[in-house]
């Protein structure tokens, strides 16, 4: 499942995938794979993404039940 919440939060801060990757210490490819839903980040990486994007874990990673 794609993580459009991360992509949206990143775009709202006008950050490129490469810039966000630099902030959290991973490669641009890792950010792209997370956004595409092809990589499950560790809890530490999730927390780093939240801090870099100014969001909570719930805001970026909680899936609403359908």
Does residue 53 lie within any of the structural domains?
Answer: yes
Does residue 31 lie within any of the structural domains?
Answer: yes
Q: Are 53 and 28 in contact (CB under 8 A)?
A: no
Query: 4: closest CA among 44, 28, 30, 36?
Result: 36
Model confidence at 37, pLDDT cuts 50, 70, 90, reads very high
Model confidence at 62, pLDDT cuts 50, 70, 90, reads confident
pLDDT value of position 64: 74
pLDDT value of position 3: 87
Q: Are 6 and 50 in contact (CB under 8 A)?
A: no
Model confidence at 7, pLDDT cuts 50, 70, 90, reads very high
Does residue 21 lie within any of the structural domains?
Answer: yes
Q: Kindly list the distances between the CA atom of residue 28 and the CA atoms of 9, 20, 23, in Å, as whole numbers in the listed order.
A: 16, 8, 11
Does residue 65 lie within any of the structural domains?
Answer: no
pLDDT value of position 63: 79
pLDDT value of position 66: 66
Domain CATH code at residue 30:
1.10.260.40
């Amino acid at each position: 499942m794609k993580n459009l919440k991360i992509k949206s939060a990143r775009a709202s801060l006008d950050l490129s995938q490469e810039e966000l990757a630099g902030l959290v210490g991973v490669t641009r490819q890792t950010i792209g794979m997370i956004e595409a839903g092809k990589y499950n980040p560790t809890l530490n990486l999730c927390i780093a993404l939240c801090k870099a994007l100014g969001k909570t874990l719930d805001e970026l990673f909680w899936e609403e039940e359908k």
